[in-house]
Amino acid sequence: MGTDEKLTSCWERVVSCCCCCCNASKQEQDRRLDTKDVRIITNPAVADKGEFDTNRPLPSPPGFKMPDRERYIALFDYSARTADDLNFNTGDILEVLDSRAGEWWLAIAITGISVNKRGYIPANYVALLESIDAEPWYFPGMKRQDAEKLLLAEGNEEGSFLVRNSESLKGELSLSVLHEKRVKHYKLQKLDNGHYYISKTKSFPTLKELVEYYSRQPDGLCVSLGKPCRKIEAPQTYGLSYNTVDQWEIPRNSIKLLTMLGAGQFGEVYEGVWNETTSVAVKTLKPGTMDPTEFLGEAQLMKRLRHPKLIQLYAVCTMEDPIYIITELMKNGSLLEYLRKDKGAILRITDQIEMAAQVASGMAYLEQQNYIHRDLAARNVLVGENNICKVADFGLARVFMKENENVYEAKEGGKFPVKWTAPEGIHDNKFTIKSDVWSFGVLLYEIMTFGKMPYPTMTNMQTVQWLAKGHRMSCPLSCPKPLHAIMMDCWKDNDQERPTFETLQWQLEDFFDMDVTSYVDSARY
């Protein structure tokens, strides 16, 4: 039996059971069966024509409980961006009516500010009710270092905690707890019967029970578990709304330009508002700088690239000049400006390496997708809140065309950012993911020098000649030697000897330690 069939028969059992218990009238039974239909109505335009009033509150017979699998809990607040969206707050219960669209679901609010209203919700803002994902303390993808940073951030208190996937042991979980302004980590282990434990003397059938137990008493932990760690920000939605995911040419008048954020060689960039609700960045292209058809082809590729460390392309306005490219807004502008402004005042070495790791993570995704950036540099990385970095301007990336050969041939006469370009790019017009790795080495230099121009005393021509003699930039002041060694690996003459972005990502993420001894030994505590 398929999932849907199971669900339907389960529903029917519940409905009929309920009817015989409460002797409901035929009319009432029909009305209840109507509620079943609510779940399969997917076209609001049809539904709203009065054939079926789906805005009507769902009847809830006494003792009736919808199957949990259909109910979701909001993990974040969400403000409706269009008249078709639902407003909701963290903790609100939503029943999903149609999840076929994948990224935006049609739902009805069961509790909270939009109770009984129906509309679209971003799927990545909710979790299945009573599943582990719905627990406010469950941060599955969080790395140990990020867990420490988050727990030490403002708003958390003694005993704040989270449960995350262990980095050192795949498939296992760790508990991170804030105690006396430090973070302690405990391994959550599993017995053969699936029960969880920290100390073998006490095991629990579910994680929830384990958390509840240690919330009541420390029983050997450094402190009783207190409040779940605060979540800092909601994730990016996929696209601006449910209907821009596919139709992403949007009316120009839905965009209002506010302040200018900067200007590049192709045009100006503005902070803007879409639909009077949503902050966005708007890149305006100088008329004639790009062929709209070529750009649209490129944009089709960019749209498919989705990763938390890549700037998301939301929508375009290409019907008239100037072309608008609408992307997510990054509060702190380009990494280059950010580094230059800071000059080490706030950013510490751990922050710098963490930022580099984020860029490597975005690039590792491009590497996996067989895309080449071709212009990786601090000016093309954007910074949001909490030093979040995302790779931008990968619009010039090209999916590789030749079988077995990740090579993109640059157009003749094309401009190179010479000091960031690998020798094979300069001499042979050969661009691969390995030439991006070379550029990444230069970007590491920019990060470690707070945005200094690479090869500061040399012209472009001198740089090319100097590199050809086998020279490389030396270790910048206060840059750890092992980090310079990573730069040197990126600048190997033979591109095949350069590391992959995947390797760079883990080298940087684990730079300070992946010291399993930092875990509190459960056998000893």
CB closer to ligand ATP, 159 vs 239: 239
Rg (CA), the chain: 27
Our finding on whether 264 is near ligand ATP (CB under 6 A) is: yes
CB closer to ligand ATP, 327 vs 463: 327
Applying CB under 6 A, the span of 49-57, 75-83, 194-202, 258-266 interacting with ligand ATP comes to 258-266
Q: Which two tokens stand for residue 440?
A: 């990444």
Our finding on whether 259 is near ligand ATP (CB under 6 A) is: no
CA atoms of 5 and 3, how far apart (whole Å): 5
Cβ 267 to ligand ATP shortest distance, Å? 6
Our finding on whether 255 is near ligand ATP (CB under 6 A) is: no
DSSP SS3 for 273: strand
Cis before 322 (ω within 30): yes
DSSP 276: T
Angle between helix axes 501-509 and 481-490 (nearest 10 degrees) is 170
Q: Exposed, middle or buried by CB within 10 Å (0-12, 13-18, 19+), for 460?
A: middle
Our finding on whether 266 is near ligand ATP (CB under 6 A) is: yes
Is-contact 67 96, C-beta < 8 A? no
Contacting ligand ATP (CB under 6 A), which of 57, 262, 297, 414?
262
Catalytic residue among 375, 493, 495, 513: 375
Active site residue 375: yes
CB closer to ligand ATP, 174 vs 380: 380
Q: Which of 459, 427, 457, 454 is nearest to 441 (CA)?
A: 454
Cβ 358 to ligand ATP shortest distance, Å? 15
Our finding on whether 393 is near ligand ATP (CB under 6 A) is: yes
Our finding on whether 450 is near ligand ATP (CB under 6 A) is: no
Cβ 330 to ligand ATP shortest distance, Å? 4
Looking only at the bridges linking them, the beta strands covering 519-520 and 182-190 are parallel
CA atoms of 344 and 478, how far apart (whole Å): 11
Our finding on whether 464 is near ligand ATP (CB under 6 A) is: no
DSSP SS3 for 279: strand
Restricted to residues 278-337, the positions that interact with ligand ATP (CB under 6 A) are: 281, 283, 311, 327, 329-330, 333-334, 337
CA atoms of 380 and 394, how far apart (whole Å): 8
Size of the site for ligand ATP (CB under 6 A): 20
Which residues are marked as active site?
375
Q: What residue ranges bind ligand ATP (CB under 6 A)?
A: 261-266, 269, 281, 283, 311, 327, 329-330, 333-334, 337, 379-380, 382, 393
